[in-house]
Structure 1
Amino acid sequence: MNDVIGTDMYRDSRYIVATYRLRDRENRLAARAEGIAIGLTIGTWTDLPSLRKEQVAAHCGQVQGIRVIDATEAGDVIAEIDIAYPVANLDATFASLLTTVFGKLSMDGEIRLERLSLPEAWERVYPGPKFGVNGVRERYGVFGRPFVMSIFKACAGLTLEELVDQFGEQASGGVDLVKDDEIFFSEAHATAAERVVAYREKARQIAVQTGRETAYAVNLTGPVHLLREKAKRLADLGAGALLFNVVAYGFDVLADLARDPDISVPILAHPAVSGALYGSPNYGIAADIVLGQLMRLAGADMGIFPSMYGSVTLGGEATDRLLAHLRKDSVHRKVLPAPSAGIYPGLVPQLYRDFGIDLILNAGGGIHGHPGGARMGGQAFFDAIAAVQEGVPLQDAAVDKPALAAAIAKWGVRA
């Protein structure tokens, strides 16, 4: 038993190392760790005959470290345990990965998967992003600044004509992308294919005035076995991107889409349902694993996650860890982060400080709630971007920028 992480194991391409945070009695930690290592791999050890032990030894989990990090008034301790799992136990699916490192263990009381270390050779079994940051920039012709993305905020029940009008209002502000609301599943009034065709025509008309053709991120929905063909058709019809509810459908479904060479558009990953996995500090899987590490491995080109600024927040430390997964040097392309919720033009200087230019300014209310409507809401973001790039305070830039001035009057500027 080691008191610290076995660094040699982290470099060993034969193992995936999972770190868990749990509560238990200190004198039970060693037995608890051993139980996890064996229980999630070979099931038992002591009752096996010698020949069988030799056969399964290469498949047995190994305890790599135990650290006490806090104590409770009740006499328990909060500890971290590192377990190494042989990659020989897995196939090339996220189902096998997640079941191995946290399957039945996720139901074993107060325990949380905090970190997951995969050897480079194993990362390669997953597709990763098809486009990544550089590919998305090339695709949309956006360089040297963040992207601006607007969100449909009224979808269900509207006719195609009404939806086109709403798309046009958003696109007229010059935004780079307009994405569906992730809850837009019904195609009773307008199918996804009809929307793609109609929005693209509208975008081309508006581009004559704005000089920029707005892309449409269509919500990819339907039965799992039909998704690949639907995605191909939407891409062929001119979809700018595919919005995908990854956690609801599963990481393996995303990976299947990302691997297909005929699906020729970027994938925008939505975090719907993910809070059920990361929402508790004592249970589940850390947010940076769910929304960062696994999203990148599975093939998201752009990733939406709760910002640090709105009513639904992720927190600065968790955001830093998530960004590290999206941006670290890796065998896979880097992912564009899209911090969401509470994004408004007066926040742009802070977003530059926190994220740099490789990000998506993803705004719903911050565009639609503008006093001048969605067109001016989009323009206000571009005014704010220009001011930051020129080194001019937003209040000074707003003197001759009515869209930005109205946004500041409504929402202010984050200091």
Structure 2
Amino acid sequence: MQRFRVTYRLRAASLAEATARAEGIALEQTVEIPRKVVPAGYVEDEILGRVEDVTQLAEGQWQATLSYSPDSAGDELTQFLNVVFGNSSIQQGIRVTGVDPGPTMAARFPGPRFGIPGIRALCGRATGGLIAPVLKPMGLPPESFAKLAAGCVHGGADIVKEDHGLAGQPTAPFRARVSAVVKAMRQAREETGRQTLYFANLSGPADQIEGNLRFLKDAGADGVLVMPGLFGFGLVQRIAADPSLNLPVMTHPSFLGPYVLAPDTGIDHGVIFGTLQRLAGSDISVFPNVGGRFGFSATECQQIAHACRTPAGPGIPMLPSPGGGMSVARAAEMQAMYGQDVVYLLGGSLLKDPDRIDHAVAAMRAALDASA
């Protein structure tokens, strides 16, 4: 049984202070008791976190690598994340910069069910960037969303994704909306011969989530959008691991922003939007694009894309999905930055003329193909 490793960036004035902070993390993330009262034997030898290395990065900044026993996490992804950054996430000057699950934990959490090859096969797009228009805004009736979805299919979209803000609003309740969109897209696919996928946004009170999940599957949705920042990474894993559902999962970053925005606390962009999403079993990870309204840098976005696709990551590679500030005018720029294995989210730029959304989607497809 091989231990898993977590890399932290620490704020400390000296090697002695950095080492003491690392030793504090080892205690905090596992036994959560003073070092002198840690029981000898199994608890001390196996469960207690180990400081493997402490090195200086810059003035006042240090990197510490700690290892943990798979027994400390068991078979629960939520407990694994609790060991990675539970109580220490409440402390100042500690940031997770890397997570290596090792072979034991990687076997327990096998990652995406579909990944890049599976999503490409499902939507019939063997090469090139994928286009995913977003159904919005909230306040529309189910019939309007259905019409938008059908237009996206006719325009050549690969995926139609519901906006994460579409939940159980009275104007378009979850089940009525899903039923309407599935029906409209089914007809549009028959008319065009396309394989456009529909990812419905999973929502509802906790006691309704399982029922809504089964409903969207039985109704004919092709995939599910989940917000792990609100519903938990454990729900993502539960969906991805269920062969009776056999649904691809797209994860949305809502509520995860505070993890990445402060420079010396939280979790690195590539870890939370790449590594952890893959461990949970997401097939497509949505994140804010550079140049949009959220302020992610090109370096941060490239870090996410690399973590999503690197063969060295947990499970099979998944698709990064940048959104925000995406348009036909930026197609060549974005393709040069992200390459071929990417899902481009298109929202507001497509909705200037909803009745002609098919033309807008087709224009984006043509722009991507021209710059490939």
Normalising by structure 1, we get a TM-score of 0.82
Is 1:57 matched up with 2:44? yes
Q: Distance in 1 between matches of 2:196 and 2:177?
A: 14
Q: Distance in 1 between matches of 2:71 and 2:85?
A: 17
Is 1:247 matched up with 2:229? yes
Provide the secondary structure at the position in 2 that maps to 1:20.
Answer: strand
| Residues 190-220 of structure 1: CA deviation (Å, up to 9, x unaligned) | 3333333322332243345544253321111
RMSD of Structure 2 on Structure 1 (CA): 2.2
Does the 8 A contact of 2:3 with 2:104 survive in 1?
no
| Residues 306-352 of structure 1: CA deviation (Å, up to 9, x unaligned) | 11232224323333332232212256222111111111112222222
Shift of 1:160: 2.4
Residue of 14, 22, 26 corresponding to 1:33? 22
Residue of 11, 15, 37 corresponding to 1:23? 11
Change over 3 Å in CA distance of 1:41–1:201 after alignment to 2: closer
Gaps of 5+ in 2: none
Does the 8 A contact of 2:222 with 2:247 survive in 1?
yes
Does the 8 A contact of 1:95 with 1:252 survive in 2?
yes
Provide the secondary structure at the position in 1 that maps to 2:212.
Answer: helix
Q: Counterpart in 1 of 2:35?
A: 45
Alignment map for 1:354-373 (pairs within 5 Å): 354-369=337-352, 373=356
Provide the secondary structure at the position in 2 that maps to 1:273.
Answer: coil
Does the 8 A contact of 1:167 with 1:178 survive in 2?
yes
Alignment map for 1:264-275 (pairs within 5 Å): 264-275=246-257
Q: Distance in 2 between matches of 1:331 and 1:287?
A: 16
Q: Distance in 2 between matches of 1:98 and 1:208?
A: 44
Alignment map for 1:10-409 (pairs within 5 Å): 13-26=1-14, 27-42=16-31, 43-47=33-37, 52-58=39-45, 59-71=47-59, 77-156=60-139, 158-207=140-189, 210-329=192-311, 332-369=315-352, 373-389=356-372
Does the 8 A contact of 2:278 with 2:314 survive in 1?
no
Q: Distance in 1 between matches of 2:294 and 2:356?
A: 24
Q: Distance in 1 between matches of 2:197 and 2:84?
A: 39
Change over 3 Å in CA distance of 1:86–1:213 after alignment to 2: closer
Q: Distance in 1 between matches of 2:165 and 2:354?
A: 26
Does the 8 A contact of 1:206 with 1:213 survive in 2?
no
Provide the secondary structure at the position in 2 that maps to 1:65.
Answer: strand
Q: 2:91 is aligned with what amino acid?
A: D
Gaps of 5+ in 1: 1-12, 72-76, 390-415
Does the 8 A contact of 1:243 with 1:270 survive in 2?
yes
Does the 8 A contact of 1:196 with 1:216 survive in 2?
no
Q: 2:123 is aligned with what amino acid?
A: Y
Change over 3 Å in CA distance of 1:204–1:116 after alignment to 2: closer
Q: Counterpart in 2 of 1:398?
A: none
Change over 3 Å in CA distance of 1:371–1:207 after alignment to 2: closer
Shift of 1:265: 2.4
Q: Distance in 1 between matches of 2:219 and 2:191?
A: 23
Shift of 1:177: 2.0
Does the 8 A contact of 1:152 with 1:179 survive in 2?
yes
Does the 8 A contact of 2:3 with 2:70 survive in 1?
yes
Change over 3 Å in CA distance of 1:55–1:242 after alignment to 2: closer
Normalising by structure 2, we get a TM-score of 0.91
User: Which is greater in Rg?
Assistant: 1
- The total of aligned residue pairs comes to 368
Shift of 1:142: 1.6
Q: Distance in 2 between matches of 1:371 and 1:105?
A: 47
Q: Distance in 2 between matches of 1:192 and 1:328?
A: 35
Shift of 1:114: 1.4
Q: 2:134 is aligned with what amino acid?
A: I
Q: 2:61 is aligned with what amino acid?
A: I
Identity of aligned residues (%): 26
Does the 8 A contact of 1:124 with 1:331 survive in 2?
no
Q: Counterpart in 2 of 1:392?
A: none
Q: Distance in 2 between matches of 1:369 and 1:162?
A: 15
Does the 8 A contact of 2:167 with 2:173 survive in 1?
no
Change over 3 Å in CA distance of 1:314–1:56 after alignment to 2: same
Change over 3 Å in CA distance of 1:253–1:206 after alignment to 2: closer
Change over 3 Å in CA distance of 1:386–1:69 after alignment to 2: closer
Q: Distance in 2 between matches of 1:246 and 1:272?
A: 8
